[in-house]
Structure 1
Amino acid sequence: MSEITTVPEQLSGPPDQPARKLRGNLGVASIVFMVVAAAAPLGVIGGVVPLGLASGNGAGFPATFVISTLILLLFSVGFTAMTPFVTEAGAFFSYVRQSLGFPTGIGIAFVAIVTYVAIEAGVYGLIGPAGIGVVELLGGPTLPWWLFAAAAFVVTTYLGYRNIELSSKVLAVLLTAEIAIIAVLDAVIVARGGAHGLSAGIVTPDAVFSGSLGIGLLFAIISYVGFEATAIFRDEARDPERTIPRATYLALVLIGVFYTVTSWALISGWGDEAAVAQATDAGGTFLGDTAARYIGVFGADLITVLYFTSLFACILAFHNVVSRYVFALSQRNVLPESLSRPHPKHGSPHKASLWISGFVAVSVLLAVLFDLDPAGQFYTWFAGATTVGVVILMIATSVAVLVFFARDRRGHSVWRVWIAPAAGLLGLLTALALILSNLSDLVGGSGVLAWVIVSLLAAAFVAGAAIGARVGREGAQAVRPADR
């Protein structure tokens, strides 16, 4: 199907103005790099996995990645089935708008913006300390964390302004490097047979259901944030009706296999009980300590550097995602129309990108002014909002898929449009219940802060739905005829 789509008069504007549509030629590999980079695999292995081992189900923790992957694959079955019928970029909100109406879709879009801005801003709280670690590793002085955050911000803003293909090339290089070093570590551990033989916890029911499976599953679900963003690049994808589904499945499988195998290898590297003890006592250096043990000090030092670049890749990927949400909303006349004018040369959402950079800059500045701990407070609070937000987005999309195919399966099997989406929805609802019941622990033990986060997301939805209802017909008319 051709990528060129007729634009109605109300969208086309004067002849001398560019069409309100992004341009690009992204293939499956480029989108996969973008999405997997957003998941920050090295950041997950170095940060989330030790937490899952210590607070979750110990040596059985790798099994929670298998469970999470299955839930999200079930979600993706219906998500990709509906993709050919949603011919506008906009990811989740486009699916919800198509099925549940314009106001509901705009409400979900506002939740998405808050969710992704939160994770982009929050990761600056991690990249600052990571930068300090790199400089100290090279023998340099201890510098303020915000200097590294500022440097990353400048580069992100520049790349966000340019064509998406430049960002995809940068992410491809960084992602390849971080996955390669972890793959080497995994291979060495397995080749040596681990510390006391390879761990069997992943297939042992007593281990999988030990400790707190719920908290383990919670940390596992957090690790996949970003995989769902494939559809936001629709207008910049080559043959999107094939590219988007393939990229979605491939990204999800790659992330799931990587997390499962690596967490299992790290446990094997210490032994079941010793791995849990090490993660509990020295979680912050768990990955580096394991690397030093199996691939030497040089390997551990290299991981320190790649951890920094992994966080930058995460920031850049989410910046590209949320910029395109803003661009899509401005196409609907929900946000200022000027934000939906792509750059005449790069075809990028340059104004939307700068708009998001402004919000992120304010967030980081406030963190500095209020002297928040960059990781323990700034990142943790924002990550809590993201975790709740992204699961809500997927739940809403699952409902949209079920409603869309309720009366007409459009040639698909019952499994693809009814059973699989319903099973995925059940899994996501269970995950949301676990997250909400443990949210105060995720945000530093503050029940008040946990409810503030939930209230913020609820307020975003209400505000978006109200604006969507007010825009009403005008916004609906701004959607291409093929979408209605």
Structure 2
Amino acid sequence: MTTAHASASATPITAPGRRLTGTLGAGAIVFMVVAAAAPLTVIGGGFPLAALMGNGAGAPAMFVVGGVILLFFAVGLSTMSRYVAKPGAFFTYVGYGLGRPAGLAAAWLAILTYTTVQIAVYGYLGYTLGAWVDDKTGLSLSWWVWALLLVGVVGVLGFRHVELSAKVLGVLLVAEVGIVLVLSVVILVQGGNDGISVDSFKPSVVTSGTPALALMFCMAGFIGFEATAIFRDEAKDPERTIPRATYAAVVVIAVFYTFTAWSLVQGWGSDFADEIANDYAGFIVTTGDKYLGTAGAEVINILLMTSLFACVLSFHNVITRYQHSMSNASLLPSHVGRVHESHESPHVSSLLQSVTAFVLLVGFALFKLDPVLQVFYWFSGIATVAIVVLMAATCVAVIVYFTRNRIDAGLWRTWIAPGIGALGLAAVTWILFANFPMLLGDVDAEGNPTLGALTVWMLVVMAAFPAFGFAQAAWLKRRRPAAYATVIDTISE
């Protein structure tokens, strides 16, 4: 393995028309990765589930716990981005730290992660948009029709320069964050349902029920922020922009989730548990109707759909750049790494991702899967488990990389923070695997998780992707040693 200084200055793959460029600032990158986290969707969907199945009114505190764990992870990620000046993110960092085979395994697990979460959201968005249009116009179409139309819209935006997507995401993100903040402020100004309290953060409330399950759902709300490093080649001054964007994304997401979730608890007070139990799916809209009136509830409902759209657009951009980096590392066909002459976008990779989404959604439609209970919950469950595993592996890779190469980047940044992050993420991984059947709805008559056929099948799918990465590494090492030698190197500054 090369040293840090060699890795940063190694001869990059510089074939004409294969390198991404841009002038994205930290703010634009934060907009894209926070949009991927879909704040309104998390507060309207993930938070009610965290409260219902977890620790009730103590659920807001779990966003704090998740944010702290991910801040430790972000320290290692940002430090690695300074010394390994490559845009491959997970697979590059894991490869430099734990070896090329592990890097390839991480690459394919990352593709699984972002593809499944995007497909999950397409299912939910197709269903939600279809129901809304039916209610307003009487036009009734299957969920997958709307989902496929949205694949086309996202594909057009993804084909063009990333700054167009950044502007679209910026507008949508401001709108969805704005309405939730307005709702939160109105709740607090009106004194909530029973007055304002901080009981949600009391140890007795936080530890009530099943806080581990609450943490599981809250951690899922952060998916996407870690993708800051994948935009390295399109960033202005990446040495400063990427770390700033990474820290800002974690802090913004954690503070927003914690504040708004706590405010929603205040909105129902002593009635919170009953309201969540009776209407967790429509919780955010019902709360909006209570405090903002019918018009406010309608705005929230519309922005919930735009939040989901922003999410799929953001993940589309992330996946296309992962595929672009993998192509330049000889893991995917060479033409996937081509860059459009005028749009300066990974247009072939974007088309590939659009086709992938199209084919999967058509397959789900043919098998008549439910867009919410099956497409959304099944595949978001896979993404949640996979992303936490990737983060934990990255923390370990940071420690190994800096230790092996004897690089003095500070004990805090190379050992302490990544080590704490790895321990926290390992604990979350254990929680996720222990409750994975519940994410898939694979439970017995009493509602307890059970290792049924669906869970086994999903675990096999999850294991198959990194297994393919290890197999591909072995094949490249034996049949294409020159490509294997640079397999974790991608186009760099």
TM-score (norm 1): 0.94
Residue 199 of structure 1: how far off its partner (Å): 3.4
Closer, same or farther: CA 481–354 of 1 in aligned 2, 3 Å:
closer
Alpha-carbon distance between aligned partners in 2 of 1:468 and 1:57, rounded to the nearest angstrom: 44
Closer, same or farther: CA 32–12 of 1 in aligned 2, 3 Å:
closer
Alpha-carbon distance between aligned partners in 1 of 2:185 and 2:25, rounded to the nearest angstrom: 30
1:350 maps to a residue whose letter is H
Residue 201 of structure 1: how far off its partner (Å): 2.5
Alpha-carbon distance between aligned partners in 2 of 1:475 and 1:309, rounded to the nearest angstrom: 42
1:254 maps to a residue whose letter is V
Deviation sequence 1:94-121 (CA, Å, 0-9, x none): 1011112222101110000011111111
* Partner of residue 477 from structure 1, selected from 468, 486, 491: 486
Q: Which blocks of at least 5 consecutive residues in structure 1 are unaligned?
A: none
Count residues with an aligned counterpart.
473
**Alignment correspondent of 2:319:** 322
* Partner of residue 298 from structure 1, selected from 271, 295, 300: 295
**Alignment correspondent of 2:3:** none
1:275 maps to a residue whose letter is F
* Partner of residue 234 from structure 1, selected from 232, 235, 238: 232
**Alignment correspondent of 1:274:** 271
Say which SS state the counterpart of residue 295 (structure 2) adopts. helix
Deviation sequence 1:115-160 (CA, Å, 0-9, x none): 1111111111100121024324534333321222122111111111
78-87 or 204-213, larger mean C-alpha shift: 78-87
Alpha-carbon distance between aligned partners in 2 of 1:68 and 1:354, rounded to the nearest angstrom: 34
Maintained 8 Å contact 1:175/1:313: yes
**Alignment correspondent of 2:253:** 255
* Partner of residue 335 from structure 1, selected from 326, 332, 335: 332
**Alignment correspondent of 2:123:** 125
* Partner of residue 93 from structure 2, selected from 92, 95, 98: 95
Closer, same or farther: CA 53–6 of 1 in aligned 2, 3 Å:
closer
Maintained 8 Å contact 1:34/1:171: yes
Alpha-carbon distance between aligned partners in 1 of 2:303 and 2:206, rounded to the nearest angstrom: 31
**Alignment correspondent of 1:194:** 192
* 1:368-383 alignment runs, 5 A limit: 368-383=365-380
* Partner of residue 29 from structure 1, selected from 10, 13, 27: 27
2:460 maps to a residue whose letter is S
Residue 7 of structure 1: how far off its partner (Å): 9.1
Maintained 8 Å contact 1:334/1:471: no
Deviation sequence 1:44-91 (CA, Å, 0-9, x none): 011111111111001111110000000000111111111111111111
Alpha-carbon distance between aligned partners in 2 of 1:20 and 1:45, rounded to the nearest angstrom: 39
**Alignment correspondent of 1:213:** 211
Closer, same or farther: CA 237–424 of 1 in aligned 2, 3 Å:
same
Say which SS state the counterpart of residue 143 (structure 1) adopts. coil
Residue 408 of structure 1: how far off its partner (Å): 5.4
Structure 1 stretches (4+) deviating beyond 4 angstroms?
5-9, 478-483
Alpha-carbon distance between aligned partners in 2 of 1:482 and 1:407, rounded to the nearest angstrom: 24
Deviation sequence 1:314-361 (CA, Å, 0-9, x none): 001111111111111110111101111111111111111111111111
Alpha-carbon distance between aligned partners in 1 of 2:74 and 2:50, rounded to the nearest angstrom: 25
Identity %: 44
1:35 maps to a residue whose letter is V
Deviation sequence 1:142-190 (CA, Å, 0-9, x none): 3321222122111111111111111111100111100011110000001
1:245 maps to a residue whose letter is P
**Pairing 1:386–2:383 present:** yes
**Pairing 1:40–2:59 present:** no
**Alignment correspondent of 2:348:** 351
Q: Which blocks of at least 5 consecutive residues in structure 2 are unaligned?
A: 1-7, 444-450
410-419 or 75-84, larger mean C-alpha shift: 410-419
Residue 200 of structure 1: how far off its partner (Å): 2.1
Maintained 8 Å contact 2:228/2:245: yes
* Partner of residue 69 from structure 1, selected from 67, 70, 85: 67
Alpha-carbon distance between aligned partners in 1 of 2:406 and 2:489, rounded to the nearest angstrom: 23
**Alignment correspondent of 2:308:** 311
Alpha-carbon distance between aligned partners in 1 of 2:77 and 2:206, rounded to the nearest angstrom: 29
TM-score (norm 2): 0.93
Maintained 8 Å contact 1:156/1:316: yes
1:318 maps to a residue whose letter is F
Closer, same or farther: CA 482–464 of 1 in aligned 2, 3 Å:
closer
Alpha-carbon distance between aligned partners in 1 of 2:160 and 2:384, rounded to the nearest angstrom: 29
Alpha-carbon distance between aligned partners in 2 of 1:187 and 1:409, rounded to the nearest angstrom: 50
* Partner of residue 360 from structure 2, selected from 332, 347, 363: 363
Residue 469 of structure 1: how far off its partner (Å): 2.7
**Pairing 1:449–2:458 present:** no
**Pairing 1:164–2:162 present:** yes
Maintained 8 Å contact 1:87/1:482: no
Say which SS state the counterpart of residue 284 (structure 1) adopts. coil
**Pairing 1:467–2:472 present:** yes
Say which SS state the counterpart of residue 133 (structure 2) adopts. helix
Maintained 8 Å contact 2:165/2:313: yes
Alpha-carbon distance between aligned partners in 2 of 1:478 and 1:370, rounded to the nearest angstrom: 38
Maintained 8 Å contact 1:332/1:476: no
* 1:400-415 alignment runs, 5 A limit: 400-407=397-404, 410-415=407-412
**Pairing 1:397–2:394 present:** yes
Alpha-carbon distance between aligned partners in 1 of 2:145 and 2:342, rounded to the nearest angstrom: 31
Alpha-carbon distance between aligned partners in 1 of 2:294 and 2:316, rounded to the nearest angstrom: 34
Say which SS state the counterpart of residue 210 (structure 1) adopts. coil
Maintained 8 Å contact 1:26/1:238: yes
1:287 maps to a residue whose letter is I
Alpha-carbon distance between aligned partners in 2 of 1:130 and 1:385, rounded to the nearest angstrom: 22
1:46 maps to a residue whose letter is G
Closer, same or farther: CA 224–424 of 1 in aligned 2, 3 Å:
same
Maintained 8 Å contact 2:95/2:101: yes
Deviation sequence 1:277-330 (CA, Å, 0-9, x none): 111111111101100000111010001111111101000111111111111111
Maintained 8 Å contact 2:40/2:304: yes
Closer, same or farther: CA 93–478 of 1 in aligned 2, 3 Å:
closer
2:365 maps to a residue whose letter is V
* Partner of residue 80 from structure 1, selected from 72, 78, 81: 78
1:435 maps to a residue whose letter is L
Deviation sequence 1:237-288 (CA, Å, 0-9, x none): 11111110000000111100110011100010000x4112111111111101
Maintained 8 Å contact 2:391/2:425: yes
Say which SS state the counterpart of residue 462 (structure 1) adopts. helix
439-448 or 402-411, larger mean C-alpha shift: 402-411
Closer, same or farther: CA 278–346 of 1 in aligned 2, 3 Å:
same
Residue 209 of structure 1: how far off its partner (Å): 0.3
2:485 maps to a residue whose letter is A
Maintained 8 Å contact 2:17/2:340: no
1:321 maps to a residue whose letter is V
RMSD (Å) for aligned C-alpha atoms: 1.8
Maintained 8 Å contact 2:43/2:257: yes
